[in-house]
Chain A
């Protein structure tokens, strides 16, 4: 029983981090129709940015550094779009895909070179200390509570922004029909930048929790984190926020299950996760909640 509850908690924690990344992929795809492959790398710069702020301004304190990292990474997304990604907006999708992959390489290398001793893993402090409560013999740390809580809050805030604010209405308009939105007087570039800020800042929250959860930050963490986030978004159905959350929970659930049941589970974690991706896509080609668009000429 204790084991089961512990695994359930692990599942929720992992699902919460994955969802924070997956939502960004989904949002960016929905609005820009671009797979921003370096999104994982953008998100995982957050722990380095936070520690960097702390090194530069030791007086600021950890909390300020975390907030600064989230905002800075949000702006970093906007800058990346401005410098590179927007040039591929009208290019074939494959070009944008490869360009963002290259962008991921650049980001990882920049972290490695700019951060002091960046090639080696660094420890990352726990954002919250201590045990919150015990349930059926399983201990739940404040960190996990915060992870799940922040994730839920972020999703709630995103929903509010997207469906209850003028900005959200514009974002949805651009996502549905760029030309019509433009005719209605919406500046698409502003919307793209806003989307990049929201997605990157959300990813940054996920990145900070990921580093805090494993207690480590490594310059190349973004690849796997990004792949898993992208997978979760696709499993749920790209461009669909609920889908991203459902996809994250399914993916995290299977990962946790694999680790708990398989003898060498940790080693086969990715194999299990990506096999799930394959199975879902074969039977539900547009993801669990996605609908296959009827192709029209």
Chain B
């Protein structure tokens, strides 16, 4: 699942004994890292005792502190991943596919994972602007909502099935994305932030007030999707093992996430990604070398909206019930926090940040009343201790450059 830029081939790879030693060391590092991450996620999912949650968080903090102390560790792990990309990819996908089996029958844990994955898709979408181009966007919650609502309305009022609503919802959200992007032609920074806030609040208020969107009560009874006659409400049977119905959506969301990661990687390495990075570094310089600043800004909004809409559609059909309060300004703020805490312009970092910040409130449920308070404090602490995010963006690397 590596997205770091790597087309570089090692000179003198293979053959000699040290090189072979390095291959096995790389493979070991990759396998150990993926296992560790999967294991940590599992532990984080199953812990319920408050003390244990605190211990796990403390362990993560210590690990991060060590990474901060000695950047070589991070660099060496990243290097191993880059040299063994296909192995890392296969192992990562295999672990992700096998995960529901490890969790077994606990539907709550699978549900949490589905939500984490959907939020990851949203944060990857937001990362195009916030991370790559450094454009603030407080309207991702709104585009997410437009995706969810348009698909739900088509399904409820016109009997469309899930797969047919997907492209239409994505199109609707993309048009909206371009519309938010329009003012970015002239406004910047704080002003652009306010434009997106305004769009987000307007969409939320309209969803809340219109009768045909169900008002504050929202829409109920969105039919579950089915594929090849297998309804997603049925338990999933694979290799004689039965997984709860939520697993259907786990795999659907996972597919979407993989798609999002591939799209993100492709865009990052394309001229578009480069143009976004140039915008982030210096808008005037970018303009001076002939980058169409306005077009690339609007494109960032449109791509964000497109991906966010997919997440919205899957969410609507998964939960079967949507209300305006799922798509508030605060949701957008949470998404921005996840991107920033995870690390801007680093897809792996963004996903880790999203999982952490989605699961954290659930784990803090033991504190019930103090949940949000802790959430806010954790975010502020993270931003003060490691302001560049957990996993900051890495330098672009090109063929032949070590």
Contact = CB atoms under 8 A, between A and B. Distances in A.
Contacts, number: 130
Nearest to B179: A278
B336 A98 contact: yes
Interface in B220-267: none
Interface string A205-244: 0000000000000000001000100110010001000000
B98 interface: no
Interface residues of A, number: 46
B284 A278 contact: no
A162 interface: no
Interface stretch (A1-9, A46-54, A281-289): A281-289
Contact of B373 (A106, A271, A274): A106
B191 A88 contact: no
Nearest to A29: B190
A84 B385 CA distance: 11
A282 B183 contact: yes
Contact of B182 (A91, A94, A101, A282): A282
Given A271-B202, A281-B195, A113 B373 contact: yes
Interface in B140-154: none
B136 interface: yes
B190 A95 contact: no
A190 interface: no
B274 interface: no
A178 interface: no
B197 A227 contact: yes
A261 B144 CA distance: 32
Contacts of A223: 329
Interface in A167-189: none
Contact of A98 (B188, B208, B337): B337
A264 interface: yes
B48 interface: no
B190 A238 contact: yes
B89 interface: no
B205 interface: yes
B198 A277 contact: yes
Interface stretch (B54-62, B64-72, B374-382): B374-382
Q: Which of A99, A110, A282 has most chain B Cβ within 10 Å?
A: A99
Given A88-B387, A105-B375, A109-B372, A35 B193 contact: yes
Contact of B383 (A95, A106, A227, A287): A95
Contact of A105 (B191, B282, B329, B376): B376
Interface of A: 29, 35, 84, 87-88, 91-95, 97-99, 101-106, 108-110, 113, 223, 227, 230-231, 234, 238, 264, 267-268, 270-271, 274-275, 277-278, 281-282, 285-287, 295-297
Interface of B: 130, 134, 136, 182-183, 186-191, 193-195, 197-199, 201-202, 205-206, 208-209, 282-285, 329, 333, 336-337, 340, 369-370, 372-373, 375-377, 379-380, 383-384, 387
